[in-house]
């Protein structure tokens, strides 16, 4: 593992109060002749687990800074010791979902390669078998017309197949000659085609035609028209459109942010702040594009930055409150506004991902009430089984690691499930962990996948509880972990999104996700060790003089439940 530090150099700002200096990968920084009020350091992790500890400085287990250290797996290992065959990774790191999807798709193609050769394309509707790919005269269009909603169906087909605009325009000409008026639905689709084609002239002409019918536009047409006008010099025409959208569906973040971004692009800072205040008041989240426009605005930079620093820091606080992960381009814009450069390692300790005692107690009470003792308890288990498990946990617990035995055993089809589970349990037991393995009763029946000898050895290394085959084991896993306290971690490949969604409010869901990120580990078939759990929270963090901002990278496709592993570090010098 190694950091890749981005080398950025910028000129001095106009006020000469900002100074930029770079830092090479794993090397020392160029010493400045004087200390700047703010400096910026880009930290890029090549570590897929997102640990904030490696070369170029990072955080040790106790939160202190260490230099040129490499992160290790769980505990020290003898080099002669046999390597574990299962590699652990955090399911919440950006890009992991995409990797798993690509792997599954590749495996599917390999397994069914012959099936694809036999498949034949679906039969097309007769209307679409001989559609033109070139302009037609009105007479030719009339000859082709043969069903209800013909014009709309054809326009949708042209849009879907990305056929040249001239063909769609000739269809509009035919409709105008036939009916003396072009329907709004056709203009809307044509406008979207112009947007995709990048034809500015045609886009503005279609937008003007739709603008004349603004009082009759539906939400989709009005929203598309607003997007078009926001990119033009006539952006102020968006204001009545925005009001029309408010009347149709109420305040919506994408439309408000689009108009605010256009206002910033044309120097109307007052309107932009007004629209931003509306977003916050309505509990809506600002878009990445709007925040980038704020930090890139000329009216808010340079000498004006001195007077609006508090407002700009307020943008960061709003991102923190919303749990946002900015894109790499936004992180660059923030870095440029707060000094346009790179700072050395700030030596600041990130806030611990550990929940407070109040947060954990609240999570435990609400989660157990909803997921274990709620109205759907009979769909998950039986009262008798739940009572038996509660007694078992109170007698055997607390545990340090709870393992979803059935889930872990299924990480590979090439090895017996019981052998995989035994390897994992043996590895963790050798480190002194108090283990609980959850499974189902069918795992005790000897067969090729679950061998009796492996299960006998496993019971000597860990406490085991086997539920009925019809019971769901996830609630038992959550119950055991929360009962055992904050020191207990769990291993399963289940993301438990249904459980998080079933919680009563958004705040509890965020706390559950934070607890899950810091306590869950997934397994993958590999030849590497299992890594440590995260010791710092992957959220925007701030202190009196520091900002640490996790952000997305352009090259990584992050799913909604994953977290970034690139960090922007801002530090203020007095």
SS3 assignment for 106-146: HHHHHHCHHHHHHCCCCCCCHHHHCCCCCCCCHHHHHHHCC
Highest mean pLDDT: which range of 170-174, 242-246, 484-488 = 484-488
Mean pLDDT highest for which of 61-70, 320-329, 399-408?
A: 399-408
**24-33, 132-141, 469-478: which range is least confident on average?**
24-33
Q: Which helix (H) or strand (E) holds 525?
A: strand 520-525
Give the model's pLDDT for residue 338.
73
DSSP bridge partners of 571: 39, 546
Find, among 519, 531, 438, the residue nearest to 486 by Cα. 519
On the question of pLDDT at 280 being above 50, the answer is yes
Q: Lowest-confidence range among 205-219, 261-275, 405-419?
A: 205-219
Sheet holding 541-542, edge to edge: 38-44, 566-572, 546-551, 541-542
Binning the chain into helix, strand and coil, the percentages to the nearest 5 are: 50, 10, 40
Euclidean distance between CA atoms 145 and 226, whole angstroms:
32
The phi-psi region of residue 22 (left if phi > 0; otherwise alpha if psi is between -120 and 50; otherwise beta) is beta
Tokens of 496: 């438990």
Euclidean distance between CA atoms 429 and 457, whole angstroms: 12
User: DSSP for 291-314?
Assistant: HHHHHH-GGGSGGGHHHHHHHHHH
Burial of 61 (0-12, 13-18, 19+ CB in 10 A): exposed
Instruction: Select the more confidently predicted residue: 147 or 393.
Output: 393
- The pLDDT assigned to 100 comes to 76
Give the relative orientation of helices 288-296 and 269-281 as an angle to the nearest 10 degrees: 150
- Quick check: 472 pLDDT over 60? yes
Between 114 and 348, the more confident residue is 348
Domains identified in the chain and CATH numbers? 128-250 (1.25.40), 357-525 (3.40.50.11980)
Query: pLDDT of 291-350, one tens digit each?
Result: 989 988 877 765 565 567 778 888 888 888 888 888 888 888 888 787 544 333 454 555
Average pLDDT, the chain: 69
| Lowest model confidence (mean pLDDT) among 109-123, 421-435, 502-516 | 109-123
Burial annotation 20-45 (CB, 10 A radius, 16+ → b, else e): bbbbeeeeebeeeeeebebbbbbbbb
Q: Are 539 and 7 in contact (CB under 8 A)?
A: no
The token duo for 30 is 């160029």
DSSP 39-108: EEEEEEB--TT--S-STTSEE-TTS-EESS----BSS---TTSPPPSEEEE-TTBTTHHHHHHHHHHHHH
CA angle 473, 50, 521 (to 5 degrees): 15
At residue 539 the predicted structure's pLDDT band, cuts being 50, 70 and 90, is low
pLDDT beyond 50 at 541:
yes
Percent over 90 (pLDDT), the chain? 5
- Position of tokens 């995709």? 196
Residue 30 has pLDDT above 70, yes or no: no
- For residue 437, pLDDT beyond 90: yes
316-325, 376-385, 544-553: least confident range: 376-385
Q: pLDDT at position 462, please? A: 92
- Give SS3 for 476: helix
Using one digit for the tens of pLDDT, what is the confidence trace for 84-101? 444 556 667 777 777 777
Residue 318 CA, chain-centre distance (Å), reads 18
- 134-154 average pLDDT score: 70
Which pLDDT value is given to residue 70? 35
Q: Is 237 exposed, middle or buried (0-12, 13-18, 19+ CB in 10 A)?
A: middle
Q: Nearest 5 degrees, angle CA 279-CA 284-CA 286?
A: 70
Task: Report whether pLDDT(133) > 80.
Answer: no
Instruction: With a cut of 50, say whether residue 426 has pLDDT above it.
Output: yes
> Pick the residue with more confidence: 19 or 447?
447
* pLDDT score of 464: 92
List the Cα angle 504/505/511 in 5-degree steps.
105
- What is the mean predicted confidence (pLDDT) over 123-137? 63
Residue corresponding to tokens 């000897």? 446
Q: How confident is the model at residue 520 (pLDDT cuts 50, 70, 90)?
A: confident
Lowest mean pLDDT among 71-80, 283-292, 418-427: 71-80
């Amino acid at each position: 593992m190694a950091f890749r530090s981005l080398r950025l150099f910028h000129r001095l700002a106009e006020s000469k109060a900002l100074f930029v200096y770079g830092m090479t990968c794993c090397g020392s920084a160029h010493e400045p002749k004087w200390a700047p009020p703010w400096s910026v350091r880009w930290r890029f992790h090549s570590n897929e687990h997102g640990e904030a500890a490696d070369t170029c400085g990072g955080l040790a287990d106790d939160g202190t800074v260490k230099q040129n250290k490499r992160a290790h797996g769980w505990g020290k290992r003898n080099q002669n010791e046999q390597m574990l065959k299962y590699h652990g990774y955090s399911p919440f790191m950006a890009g992991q979902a995409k990797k798993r999807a690509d792997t599954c798709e590749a495996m599917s193609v390999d397994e069914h390669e012959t099936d694809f050769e036999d498949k034949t394309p679906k039969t097309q509707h007769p209307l679409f078998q001989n559609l033109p790919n070139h302009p037609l005269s009105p007479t030719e269009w009339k000859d082709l017309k043969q069903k209800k909603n013909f014009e709309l169906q054809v326009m949708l087909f042209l849009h879907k197949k990305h056929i040249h605009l001239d063909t769609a325009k000739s269809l509009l000409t035919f409709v105008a000659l036939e009916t003396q008026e072009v329907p709004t639905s056709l203009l809307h689709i044509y406008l979207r085609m112009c947007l995709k084609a990048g034809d500015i002239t045609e886009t503005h002409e279609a937008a003007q035609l739709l603008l004349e019918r603004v009082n009759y536009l539906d939400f989709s047409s009005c929203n598309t028209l607003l997007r078009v006008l926001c990119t033009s010099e006539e952006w102020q025409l968006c204001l009545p459109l925005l009001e029309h959208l408010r009347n149709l569906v109420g305040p919506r973040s994408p439309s408000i942010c689009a108009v605010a971004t256009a206002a910033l692009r044309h120097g109307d800072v007052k309107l932009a702040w007004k629209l931003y205040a509306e977003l916050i008041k309505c509990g809506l989240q600002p878009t990445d594009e709007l925040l980038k426009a704020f930090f890139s605005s000329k009216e808010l930079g340079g000498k004006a930055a001195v007077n609006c620093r508090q407002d700009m820091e307020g943008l960061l606080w709003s991102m923190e409150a919303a749990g946002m992960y900015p894109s790499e381009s936004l992180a660059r814009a923030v870095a440029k506004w707060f000094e346009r450069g790179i700072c050395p390692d700030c030596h600041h300790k990130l806030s611990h991902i550990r929940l407070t005692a109040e947060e954990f107690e609240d999570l435990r009470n609400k989660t157990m009430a909803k997921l274990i003792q709620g109205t759907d308890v009979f769909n998950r288990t039986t009262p008798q089984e739940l009572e038996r498990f509660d007694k078992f946990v109170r007698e055997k617990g607390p545990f340090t690691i709870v393992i979803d035995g059935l889930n872990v055993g299924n990480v590979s089809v090439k090895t017996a499930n019981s052998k995989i589970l035994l390897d994992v349990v043996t590895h963790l037991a050798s480190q002194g962990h108090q283990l609980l393995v959850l499974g189902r009763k069918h795992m005790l029946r000897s067969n090729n996948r679950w061998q009796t000898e492996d299960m006998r050895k496993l019971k000597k290394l860990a406490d085991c509880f086997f539920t009925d085959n019809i019971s769901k084991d996830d609630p038992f896993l959550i119950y055991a972990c929360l009962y055992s306290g904050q020191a207990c971690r769990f291993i399963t490949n289940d993301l438990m999104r249904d459980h998080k969604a079933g919680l009563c409010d958004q705040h509890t869901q965020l706390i559950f996700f934070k607890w899950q990120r810091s306590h869950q580990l997934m397994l993958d078939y590999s030849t590497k060790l299992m890594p440590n759990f995260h010791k710092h929270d992957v959220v925007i963090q701030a202190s009196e003089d520091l900002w640490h901002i996790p952000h997305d990278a352009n090259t990584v496709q992050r799913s909604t439940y994953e977290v970034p592993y690139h960090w922007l570090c801002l530090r203020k010098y007095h």
